[in-house]
Amino acid sequence: MNKRKTGTAYEEIAANYLRKQGIHIITMNYRITQGEVDLIGEDKENIIFIEVKYRKTASYGEPWEAVSIHKQKQICKVARQYCYSKRIKKQVRYDIVSICGEEIRWFQNAFEHMGQW
């Protein structure tokens, strides 16, 4: 399976996991020129921008550790544009779903917004 197909498969696994936790998934693979976000969801209080990371094993580190500062900044830019274009008034939250083998870990409020609103 190529990287894109693998990524899509694990994003679907993460989306299903989050749905079971009560998160409404609005969109998957939201892309603009500034970057992309794997999943966008919401709960009662928040619009949630979610990065999904998968690794077969943790021999090279946990998947969540691969969400660099650069990637966090990119997600924040995309989130800002998305909220502006959709006129979102909810609180914004940034989460990571880390999948290592069969283990799924959900990090809520994984990082703070970077940049200006």
In whole angstroms, what is the distance from residue 114 CA to residue 92 CA? 12
Architecture of domain 3-107: 3-Layer(aba) Sandwich (3.40)
Q: What is the pLDDT of residues 19-38, one digit of tens each?
A: 999 999 999 999 999 899 99
Q: Which among 42, 54, 43, 113 has a CA at the least distance from the CA of 78? A: 113
Question: The tokens 């994984």 sit on which residue?
Answer: 110
Q: Which among 63, 43, 62, 61 has a CA at the least distance from the CA of 52? A: 63
Q: What percent of the chain has pLDDT over 70?
A: 97
60 or 109, which is more confident: 109
How many of the other CB atoms lie within 10 Å of CB of 85?
Answer: 9
Residue extents of the structural domains in the chain: 3-107
